[in-house]
Amino acid sequence: MKVPAERLGAVPVSTSAPTVPVPTSAPTVPVSTSAPTIGVILSARTLNAGDVLTIGLTVHNGPTGVPLDLYVGLYLPDNQIAYFSSPGLAGLEDLPSTTPTRMQLVPSGSRLTLPRFVEVALSPGAPPGTYQFFAALVTPGAVSHGLVSDSDLAAFELEAFTIAP
């Protein structure tokens, strides 16, 4: 069974490669400092073999909030979901991911900024299709049965990208 990184045909990006600026995918909007927020930034919406995909992630849990569970995952074109247990492709769980995997607890007043949460060069064998990267902050323990009620979902962000054939 292939892990999701192998299914993407991904190869590690050389750390000696020049830094590529990562554009924002949406305009900046002022946000209340007390509300939990998530931001996802993609380097491109459409990619071809040889392109480098960079996904940035920012998470903020306001100072007046409660600790929240952070879930990060990837919807694959074949409708499977892979969850991250840590940043980078090495943090992707084996498929099929039948149980949501929490990445970490985010205490109140915490901010997490990972401008290169994932950075990979796509190989010629990368399966084409639309992929959806998502992140969610939820009440601790709320995902124990795989479903989250609206009252337990503190913040959610989803961004899609396509690998061209």
Mean pLDDT (whole number) for 15-27: 39
Over residues 104-141, the pLDDT tens digits come to 999 999 999 999 999 999 988 889 999 999 999 999 98
Backbone CA torsion sign across 64, 70, 74, 75: negative
- Please give the model's pTM, rounded to 2 decimal places: 0.77
Mean pLDDT (whole number) for 21-40: 61
